[in-house]
Amino acid sequence: MKLHPSKATVEVVIPNNEVVVNNKTAKDIQTGVQLSGDKITGTLNYVTDIENAGGEGNYFVIELPQAKDVENNVVCQFEGGSPTELSNTDYQYLIKVTESGKKPITITVTGKVEATRTLDISGLILKSKEN
């Protein structure tokens, strides 16, 4: 039975500090990141040794539990950007953020669950690269 889109929600979880994503722990990538309603706040550390994720820069980590279900498709899209379909083999994602790119992110789940959620990331603080 499919849920009506107005009754379903996209589950977004901020992982604990010890979760490892792309060979880095969450605490190396972000500090104090919290989700309150649809707003994400906290500090994103500048990381230089991220592999296969878009090179060095500022990232945050989210978990999308609905992506674990192979019957769902999960797509993330920055406002004005191209949609990126996420793999269901991993439900933890690194999202790269730039100062000029702190636009809302829309996450859409289709399949067994139909839901869309827009996250406001304008409150994230981006640390600069250390010399």
For residue range 55-97, list pLDDT tens digits in order.
Answer: 889 998 998 888 888 888 888 888 877 888 877 776 778 888 8
Q: Has residue 9 been placed in a domain?
A: no
Model confidence at 7, pLDDT cuts 50, 70, 90, reads: low
Whole-number pLDDT of residue 34:
95
Whole-number pLDDT of residue 118:
94
- Assess whether pLDDT exceeds 80 at residue 54: no
Whole-number pLDDT of residue 18:
92
Q: Has residue 7 been placed in a domain?
A: no
CB atoms under 10 Å from CB of 22, counted, come to 17
8 A C-beta contact, residue 79 and residue 106: yes
User: What are the φ/ψ torsions at residue 40 (nearest 5 degrees)?
Assistant: -105, 130
Q: Has residue 121 been placed in a domain?
A: yes
15-24, 46-55, 98-107: least confidently modelled range: 46-55
Which tokens is 18 given?
């010890």
Whole-number pLDDT of residue 37:
94
Q: Has residue 83 been placed in a domain?
A: yes
For residue 103, give its domain range. 20-126
Helix segments in the chain, DSSP class H: 26-29
Distance CA 68, CA 49 (A): 27
Which residue's entry shows tokens 């603080």?
Answer: 125
Q: Has residue 82 been placed in a domain?
A: yes
**Those residues with Cβ within 8 angstroms of residue 110's Cβ, 6 or more apart along the chain or in another chain:** 72, 73, 75
Which tokens is 70 given?
């192979």
Total domain count, the chain: 1
E strand segments, the chain: 20-21, 24-25, 30-36, 39-44, 46-47, 57-63, 72-78, 84-86, 92-97, 105-111, 115-126
Q: Residue 106 maps to which CATH number?
A: 2.60.40
Whole-number pLDDT of residue 72:
87
Q: Has residue 118 been placed in a domain?
A: yes
Whole-number pLDDT of residue 42:
96
